[in-house]
Amino acid sequence: MIEARKVSMTYPDGTEALKEVSFSVKKGEICSIIGPSGCGKSTLLFIFSGLLKPTGGEVFINGRPVNSPRKDVSLILQDYGLFPWKNVRDNIAVGMKIQGFAENEIEKAVNSLIKKIGLAGFERSYPKQLSGGMRQRVAFARALALKPSIMLMDEPFSSLDALSREKMQDFLIQIWKETSTTIVLVTHNIEEAVLLGKKIVVLTERPGTVKEIVKNEGAARTEYRYEEEYFERCREVRKLIGLKD
């Protein structure tokens, strides 16, 4: 369970990115955060991951305040966060390596993940040799290798074309169903927020505050795209975002 309590962030240069953001995500829940560009979505994920200390308020994971990166939390950065100097295999392995897993254990996990994401034969390729969708899947594999109980994703599909984007959304739903990981996903795409988030946190323009939390129980199913409820939620969220204070 993740709990944000009145989280505020003002950067040293005076930029006020977040103001008293409070909401919680239950264990095993998939939650999307949507808001306009620059409203502090990435900042919020950095705070959740323990990489950034908020200037006000606190974040709790399973009841304990977050002060530094936790082993059971994986963050997938915007633009995937892969290392250009590591090939696919080493990019996937790097988290396990850092956390001190045994070499044969890493080997086994990485091999099965590469198969899972459909990149067999690309083990020695470097990120720049891969398409956007393939890079995205490598980033997933790197996060999954650590068997996290929480995955934080920053606009994971924003640089993909519409087709790969849908495929990756389906892939994410599949992963979520298989692992029942708690997922917090940031996006600025309304359809994506509605398709994936059983809970949709709508943020205002900078400084980001919670404008509304939309319940969306039908989400995280690939069929949802064609259902009336989905379109209804999209309209609802679109209206929420379109409204200016």
Partner 1 sequence: MVGRLNGGLSGLSGLGRLNGLNGLNGLKIRGCIFAIVVILVLWAVGASLSSSPALPSPLIVVISFISDLPELIPHMLVSAYRVIYSILLALSFAIPIGLISYKEKIDSIVSPFIYLLYPIPHIVLLPIIILLFGIGDASKIFLISMIVFFQILVTARDAARNVSDYYILSLKSLGASELDVYRHVIFPATLPKILTAMRISIGTAIAVLFFAESFATSSGLGYFILDSWSRADYNSLYSGIISMALLGFSLYLFVEFLEKKFCKWV
Ligand X SMILES: Nc1ncnc2c1ncn2[C@@H]1O[C@H](COP(=O)(O)OP(=O)(O)O)[C@@H](O)[C@H]1O
Instruction: List residues near ligand X by CB under 6 A.
Output: 11, 13, 15, 17, 35, 37-43, 206
What's the closest the beta carbon of residue 169 comes to partner 1, in angstroms?
12
Paired with 201 in beta bridges are 33, 213
Report in angstroms the alpha-carbon separations of 32 from 35, 36, 57, 68, 143. Answer: 10, 13, 21, 23, 18
SS (H, E, C) 110-163: HHHHHHHCCCCCCCCCCHHHCCHHHHHHHHHHHHHHCCCCEEEEECCCCCCCHH
Nearest approach, Cβ of residue 163 and Mg ion (Å): 23
When asked if residue 12 is in the footprint of partner 1 (CB under 8 A), the reply is no
From 35-43, 99-107, 123-131, 200-208, give the range in contact with Mg ion by CB under 5 A: 35-43
Nearest CA to 198 out of 166, 229, 161 is that of 229
Counted residue by residue, the chain has a size of 245
Q: Which of 5, 16, 36, 94 binds partner 1 (CB under 8 A)?
A: 94
The closest of 157, 87, 163, 98 to 128, measured between CA atoms, is 87
219 binds partner 1 (CB under 8 A): no
Residue closer to Mg ion, measured from CB, 42 or 55? 42
- The nearest distance, CB 80 to Mg ion, in angstroms, is 13
CA-to-CA distance for 132 and 140, rounded, in angstroms? 12
Q: Which is nearer to partner 1, 180 or 222 (CB)?
A: 222
Pick from 42, 55, 87, 159: which binds Mg ion (CB under 5 A)?
A: 42
Q: For residue 219, give the amino acid letter.
A: A
Residue 24, Cβ neighbours under 10 Å: how many?
15
User: Which CB atom, from 91 or from 187, has the smaller least distance to ligand X?
Assistant: 187
Determine contact, residues 202/44, Cβ cutoff 8 Å.
no
Q: Is 24 in the site for Mg ion (CB under 5 A)?
A: no
Residue 46 or 230: the one with the smaller Cβ distance to ligand X is 46
Site for partner 1 in 194-213 (CB under 8 A): none
| Between 13 and 217, CB nearer to ligand X | 13
DSSP designation for 103: H
Residues in contact with partner 1 by CB under 8 A are: 46, 49, 51, 69-71, 74-75, 77, 79, 81-87, 94-95, 97-99, 115-119, 121, 125-126, 128-131, 133-134, 137, 142, 146, 167, 170-171, 174
